[in-house]
Amino acid sequence: MSKLSFDSVEVLIYDPVSANRAATRAAMFALGFRRTETVPTLESFLEAVQKSPPDIALCEAQGQTEELCSVIQQLRQGAAGYNPFIVIIVTAWENNATLISRVLSSGADDMLLRPFSTSLLRSRIETHVDRRKGFVITTDYVGPDRRKDTNRPSDIELFEPPNSLKMKAKDKLSAEDIARKLNSELKTAREKLTSEKLRRDSFQVCILWRLLQDQPLLAGKAPPDLVKLQLLVKSVAARCNGTEFASAGEWCQSLLASAEGLAAGVDRNASLHLLGHAALSLHQLFYPEKTTADQMSEIDATVALIKARNQQALAS
């Protein structure tokens, strides 16, 4: 492996504890990092990422795990900064399985338990330079591929995320070449993120519609699946702005109107029918190659798996 050079790498450290920020900064300095910014709050972390995305971020999870994971998810989904693909290493003091699972499910690249040695930190950083995991995009997750069984059939496509850390530390490109290469890769990757999220989310809207058909709906009390559908549709509508799928906004409005009718107890059958029509039409926009029969076959197969899994969970 060629010698890595970290002097031009932009680093952002978030930690609410001043002594810990200083210790992490000192460790990074010892490794050769010279462009490091530290912030004490999640608000300032988010502001820094939006203003000037770093190449690598180190974030402390202890104390605000849920809030940090939410910020990382927003970032990975493209809703919190121009570069959703920065390398993110989360640190924590507690070796807690729930915390670790939550952090890795947020889309972070890595998790490092404190106290850690400088050599271990370097080893982890080198991994994200040379052997960074491919990213996947699903409805609920954007980030490194965490699948344990790589032989299991899946339609989820891996892609290599833009990695400005590698461009600077290993490829040692000029500032002009890095800017050009990163902007080009980010444009392609963000377009992929947008299109794949729209495809995944529109399919999930159809799944939620089918699940709602078997659920009791009480006026004034929206079931969780209906709430999730409404949030998902709003996200799709926002993501379509300024894209070739701007026409999807009309179907999103129809979906939201039908969902409001269901929540208010307006003619259940008519509302579900309109909801289904709008959901399938939205899905068709992102999968023009599929027939209605193909759509329904895939939707019904997925719904059957969900129901079987739920029944198994109830029985256990």
Extract the tokens encoding 105.
């499910």
Residue type, 262: L
Count of residues making up the chain? 316
pLDDT attached to residue 315:
80
Contact 232, 205 (CB under 8 A): yes
Residue type, 92: A
Alpha helices in 77-174 (DSSP H): 97-105, 118-130, 164-166
Does residue 156 surpass a pLDDT of 80? no
The dihedral formed by the CA atoms of 83, 89, 95 and 97, expressed in degrees to the nearest 10: 30
State the SS3 of 219-286.
CCECCHHHHHHHHHHHHHHHHHCCCCCCCHHHHHHHHHHHHHHHHHCCCHHHHHHHHHHHHHHHHHHH
Separation between Cα atoms, residue 201 and residue 207, nearest integer Å: 10
pLDDT attached to residue 244:
85
pLDDT attached to residue 214:
86
Q: What is the mean pLDDT of the chain?
A: 91
Helix 175-212 / helix 268-286 crossing angle, nearest 10 deg: 150
The residues with which 25 forms a beta bridge, in sequence order, are none
Q: Is 86 helix (H, G, I), strand (E, B) or coil?
A: coil
Separation between Cα atoms, residue 129 and residue 131, nearest integer Å: 6
Does residue 220 surpass a pLDDT of 70? no
The band of 153, judged by pLDDT with boundaries at 50, 70 and 90, is: very low
Whole-model pTM? 0.86
pLDDT tens string 42-89:
999 999 999 999 999 999 998 899 999 999 999 999 887 789 999 999
pLDDT attached to residue 51:
93
pLDDT attached to residue 198:
94
The stretch 111-128 carries a mean pLDDT of: 96
Does residue 233 surpass a pLDDT of 70? yes
Does residue 155 surpass a pLDDT of 90? no
C-alpha count within 13 angstroms, C-beta hemisphere, residue 23:
15
Does residue 245 surpass a pLDDT of 50? yes
Domain boundaries, the chain: 10-172, 194-315
Q: How far from each other are the two terminal CA atoms of the chain, in whole angstroms?
A: 50
Does residue 150 surpass a pLDDT of 70? no
Does residue 197 surpass a pLDDT of 80? yes
> Please, what CATH class does the domain formed by 10-172 belong to?
alpha beta
Comparing CA positions, the residue from 81, 78, 87 lying closest to residue 108 is 87
The stretch 20-45 carries a mean pLDDT of: 97
Using the structure block, give the residue that is written with the tokens 């399938």: 280
